[in-house]
Structure formats: C-alpha cells, structure tokens
Amino acid sequence: MLLSKENKLLIDKTLEEDCAFHDLTSGIVIANNTSAKAFIHSKENCILCGVEAARYIFNRLDKKATFKLFKNDSQNIKKGDRILEINSNTRSILSAERTALNFLSFLSGVATKTSKFVQKIKDLPAKIYDTRKTFPLLRSFQKYAVKTGGGFNHRFSLNHAILIKENHLKGSKLLIKGKPDLKAIEKVFDSIRKKNKGPIEIEVESLQEFRKIIEIHPDIILLDNFNLSQLKTAVQFRNKHYPKIILEASGGISLSNIRKVALTGVERISVGDITHTVDSIDLSLDLL
C-alpha cells in the first residue's frame, strides 16, 4: 500500500518541511475564501506513479478538495496529458503544489526507469528485481514505484529475507583460507531451515565459489558481477545438475546490457540503478 500509516506520517513531515501550513506568499497574495481549479499535466512521456499520494497531500491542506482523475498509476503518459484535476481552496492548492509534484515526479521517475528495463526483456523469462539501494526513508515509496513499472521487489529490509553475502562469510569465519567452508555453511543452512526463516539466498563472486556453494543446495544463488560468459557457464551447470536452484544476476546491470544478461538464462536480475539513480519526471500544475 502506498498510503500506509507510516507513509502518511512521512508525507506529513515533507509538508512540514516546506511549511505548507504557513505559506507566507499565498497567505498575503491570495484571499482566504477563494476557490480554484487546477490541472497537473506531464511535460514528457512517462509511466505514472504516485497519484494517491498527490491526492492525499491536497486533502491535507483542504479536506473538502475534490478531484477528477484522468490517468491512473502504471498508465503510459504522453507529453501534454492531463493527469489530475483539483478543485479546492486556492491557497491550499498553491501551498500543496510543490510537495505533491515532488512525490509524483520522483515516483513516476522510478516507475518509468523500471519500465524501460522491463520492456527490454518482456519476451524473456527473467524478471527485474529492485535492491535496498533506495533513498533514506523512501524505500516503501520506491518499491511501490518499481512494482508500478512492472518490476518485482527483492527483500524490503534486513529482517525480510535471508541473503548471505561475502562479508557475512568473512565476518562469521565461514571461510577457510579465503574459500567457503561448505560444512560450516551447510550447518548454517540447516539452522535457518529448522527455524522456518524462508528461502536462503547466498552471494558468490566467482565460478569456483559457485560450483562449491551449489553443492549444499541454497534456494537462490546471487551471481555478483559475473560477466556474460560466466553467467552462461553457471546457468548451464545449474541446468544440468541442480535445476531447482534459482539464479540471480547482479552488479553492473544497465539498459545497454540487460537483454544480454537475461538471455543467459538467469531467472532474476537485480538492478540497483532503478532506485539509486533516478531522473524525476517533469510535471506541472496550472491554475485556471
């Protein structure tokens, strides 16, 4: 849900940050009892995301505000398209404008970028997943936007799923002379499964590590920074010997190479770029 209790509180904080309830200019220039109609429209093509948040923001300034929705989240928007009509107190519209546009622009940017990756491989089995490389406190918003753009959510937080990375192996002494201690790691797997903590994913950084780790049957193996040749080799080995284990590619994934990565046969591709490097969509509000 985009408008969870926690997200509403965060939106309220952004309104406070902008002093939307103490707008000096609107308070002086705009008569208090006037009402107006305004439209939000897009200045570029995009995938829309965040309409629910925008409506909530305008209603926080004016509980009597009403809306006409022209487009919904996940729809393709063309340059010039109207997205939302707001009928409200004039001061309230102007005081809420920037916060509402900030959320709409940012979330639509995430959804649009995600969609570009998804469209590149739409005819292939692989799926695009996000990561935890999100803006502080905006993770739930960004993960919603990823889904809006057609992507899938990886674990939400450190408490959401098991992902054993290289530093976990180093920090827990599960390496012997720099190589995975399979017996010790297998004991960790057994302990996790006894506690019903869900699927186990583990990161490997080389084909040598991959061939060892796959022997102890994790549910998912994260192939970190593998080149295309290494990905193909890993998939072929998995298909022949351990067909039920899921393979996920990560590291250095871009629009220019996403299709080649998907063609190797991995089931999942995690892309930090869709959340940590975002170009907001250019949207505008016009008062009539």
Active site residues: 98, 133, 165, 203, 224
**Strand 46-47 and strand 246-250: pairing?**
unpaired
Which structure tokens are listed for 173? Answer: 């002494």
Pairing mode of beta strands 82-89, 66-69: antiparallel
Q: DSSP code of 216?
A: G
d(CA 72, CA 209): 46
Question: What single-letter amino acid sits at 171?
Answer: G
How far is the C-alpha of 29 from the C-alpha of 174, rounded, in Å? 67
Spell out the alpha helix ranges (H) of 79-128: 90-120
Beta bridge partners of 222: 203, 248
Q: Per this entry, what is the length of the chain?
A: 288
How big is the CA angle at 61 (ends 147 and 29), to the nearest 5 degrees? 125
